[in-house]
Chain A
Amino acid sequence: MRSLTHLERLEAESIHIFREVVAEAENPVMLYSVGKDSSVMLHLARKAFYPAPPPFPMLHVASGWDFADLLAHRDRTVREYGLRLIIAQNEEAEAQGINPFDTGSALYSQAQLTDPLKRALTAHGFDAAFGGGRRDEEKARAKERIFSFRNAAHRWDPKNQRPELWNLYNAKKAKGESIRVFPISNWTELDIWQYIALEKIDIVPLYFSKPRPTVERDGMLLVVDDDRFRLEPGEEPVTRPVRFRTLGCYPLTGATESEATEMNDIIQEMLLATGSERQGRAIDKGQSASMEDKKAEGYF
């Protein structure tokens, strides 16, 4: 008798979910944000369908303010594994004057992330989209189903979700409706890191510490990733050894000072950390139910 470890059980569950969706949905897609959770999802997807490649494309919602390292990692990964990549981007945002410096975070995330995502899902007729949401991230996520239904306008109704029993998922839906599927719902941040270490999954270098040009603003340490970063009067970039626990648009994502250059250092830091991983995201702040409101709007 061989008892499975918690990571083996989580892996088997995620693979089962990927296969159910591919068997029952007509046109699935995977939301690929290039972050650590997406990297784990991609790894699981490759395992689920091996020796076939994942039978669905990757969709990256690019805000135009992504870290350069992240885009490079994305393109390298897509090439190496022979994946099909679709990039969704709000091309008009710049003309409309939407940018992370002047635009409020609610409008910014709506215009740069939620809207292009919804448009891409509709344009390609995707009826199922894998997302990397985890239940341990946030209170509103803790109640999210693994198969989460969206109406034709991509809205989430927290009061009208299907019960999920055993490992049986009901993927039936009406025309125009779609499902958001969260194969790593039951993974915690620690599980993700342990799995990345164990499986030697290649992740964006931004998770590892390196001297980077930074400025301190509103209690956050921001990295000056390119020359579009608008410095305020008196601000002068300072090179500090920093890394990221979570990745978003670079002018909105706080770095942490760190000496962690190896995987084990990262895990060690995480285990001893006193702040939650979303602390570094300006987008999640606001009233405590804000994640729920955004989800209702169609955010992942």
Chain B
Amino acid sequence: MNAPSSFQTDALIAEDIEAYLEQHQNKSLLRFITCGSVDDGKSTLIGRLLYDSKMIFEDQLAALESDSIKHGTQGQEIDFALLVDGLAAEREQGITIDVAYRFFATEKRKFIVADTPGHEQYTRNMVTGASTADLAVILVDARKGVLQQTRRHSYLVHLLGIRHVVLAVNKMDLVGYDRATFDSIVADYRAFAQSIGISEFTAIPISGFKGDNITAAPSANTPWYEGPALIQHLETVEVDAAAAQTQPFRMPVQWVNRPNLDFRGFAGQIASGTIRPGDPVRIVPSGKTSTVKTITTFDGDLDEAVAGQSVTLTLADEVDCSRGDLIAAAGDPPQASDQFCATFVWMDEEALKPGRGYWLKIGSQMVTATVQPPKYEIDINSLEHLAARTLDLNAIGVAEFATDRPIAFEPYDVNRQLGGFILIDKFTNATVAAGMIAFNLRRADNVHWQPLAITREDHAGLKNQTPRVLWFTGLSGSGKSTIANEVEKQLFLMNRHTFLLDGDNVRHGLNRDLGFTEADRIENIRRVGEVAKLMADAGLIVLTAFISPFRAEREMVRKMLAAGEFIEIFVDTPLDVAEGRDVKGLYKKARSGELKNFTGIDSPYEPPESPEIRVNTVDMTPEEAARYIIARILPLK
């Protein structure tokens, strides 16, 4: 094997530690990801890099030798793969099932490797590992060539915006270091790479097991190879953080630092560009401008700060600026919009629900976003666009997003920090998707709400009442419509202006295009919510009677309305009682399978956790229930 010339030299450490440290304080950092299947020798390659860079200590090596005999797949030889296969359960199965991060360093650079699994169902993990990588090493088994999954990994690498790609043709020792085999794999890959937009890549013939072309090239076995060794290449590619410095200044504000009345600083990590005291800046989305007074750090005020640094800025003027705002170059601010188009990867067991509100986090901004039904799903194997109504775990699609207020961003291909976002389920708090903004659908600053001369207060004042939305929720047959009707009758007698929305007057008109799938139920409730909101704006007391089985949608409607306006009324009738009544014969049909997606039978009902009003229909007649409800919403003005 060739001398690992670029790895740390013990001689210098032993002789002149100061010279060594001096040299090593100025290393740069490269993050990369390795992609390949279980059998491509990925773990072996990483184990080899750690071993060659002396990141393996004797006690670890001893454990490895005993593990190699117990679990290893390499006979009596050391199985490097065991160094990197982490969790116990995974080791039992002999596979890696998550993202693991490994560290090694050479004389020139420090490296962080994201090790991600190669099997089909784990797109999620690979996307996670790729999101922070500057470079991807795509491993191919020389005996097998470019496979379906090679294409899949390359597509994901490209999707996540990784600009440096290495095609590592591994296990060259098993094909007799044959040049023709290598050349033909490279030609195959080139054709595919160009078709998905990867314009450049570096192909290296290696053996992770034997060590060929890992640290020095060409190895004795591949005299025909003229390119760099893997490590040499990794030591020289440009890091993304450097590229971001050439872009206009942007810093998401993470935290406002206010230790005393004399200091007000805006803390954040610079996402792009350079900043100096005196530079004019603009707060996005408010548009207020000021100039930078100081760049304050623990190590003293700075004359300049660049992309990647975490700093605290103070401004010359008292402008409104808080977490979620973005400080940008005054003359070249980023876009701000509440509607955009994005490619996104679904990462949760529970499929996307178009129309439902999710938390969207981008930079330090946290907003509510709804996703339209996808325009299409991308088949990760054929790269075809497929029609889709939702996205399941590990699916990738393109859709339009709307947020409840404008957010500042850059398209993902311009800046990964400013264009990448995650979606969070509001109830499970799980991170359910990762998205990359493609483009703005409109400039939100061009959209102005039509100023209304007559306000909602005027409407309500004329009617001498406080507008409210009485939202009845409960199982089919629980008595929602009956009780709502009774409440409306009694309010009418009290000279109140009301309107009742129920399945009969909505399903047949406004919502006649909707069925009973989960997505349609969500859209149904969203529309009812919007109509109820308009009617409340008009000063009415609105009553709605819909099963509205999902908490998330009821909460969505609550948020659309002014505080205190939404009154959730849980018509709490046990399933057996409702089913016993079965006024419309629907439960019978659902039980026989004739009716699908029926709430309580084969579709869930999520009861309110703390409704404003709960009525028990087992002990109360509809008239009693109505009186009980009205007593709880008094006074009406």
Chain A residues at the B interface, C-beta cutoff of 8 Å: 1-13, 15-16, 19-20, 22-23, 46-53, 135-136, 139-140, 142-143, 158-159, 161-168, 170, 172-174, 185-186, 188, 190-191, 194, 197-198, 264-265, 267-268, 271-276, 279, 288-289, 292-293
Contact = CB atoms under 8 A, between A and B. Distances in A.
A139 B257 contact: no
Contacts of A289: 87-88, 91
B347 interface: yes
A6 B27 contact: yes
Nearest to B58: A274
A271 B312 contact: no
A276 B583 CA distance: 73
A143 B27 contact: no
Interface string B251-265: 000110111000101
A159 B27 CA distance: 35
B63 A12 contact: no
Nearest to A11: B310
Contact of A170 (B84, B91, B254, B429): B429
B101 A6 contact: no
B308 A5 contact: no
A12 B308 contact: yes
A47 B309 contact: no
B610 to A, nearest CB: 13
A173 B424 CA distance: 11
7 contacts: A4-B306, A12-B269, A23-B364, A162-B430, A164-B128, A194-B21, A275-B59
A198 B21 CA distance: 10
Contact of A1 (B24, B245, B299, B347): B245
B1 interface: no
B57 A273 contact: yes
Contacts of A6: 27-29, 109-110
Contacts of A186: 101, 103, 112
A46 B298 contact: yes
Given A190-B105, A279-B59, A16 B21 contact: no
Given A197-B21, A279-B59, A1 B87 contact: no
Contacts of B110: 6, 188, 191
B269 A15 contact: yes
Interface in B556-599: none
Contacts of A23: 254-255, 323, 364
B341 to A, nearest CB: 19
Contact of B420 (A13, A46, A165, A288): A165
A188 B323 CA distance: 31
B98 interface: yes
B321 interface: no
Contacts of A276: 57, 59-60
Nearest to A278: B59
A173 to B, nearest CB: 6
Given A20-B254, A276-B60, A188 B103 contact: yes
B8 interface: yes
B103 A136 contact: yes
A142 B86 contact: yes
Contact of B431 (A8, A170, A279): A170
Contacts of B55: 136
Interface stretch (B9-17, B167-175, B224-232, B442-450): B9-17
A163 B128 contact: yes
Contacts of A159: 89
B25 to A, nearest CB: 6
A279 B242 contact: no
B362 interface: yes
Contacts of A191: 110
B34 to A, nearest CB: 14
Contact of B298 (A50, A140, A275): A50
Nearest to B243: A1
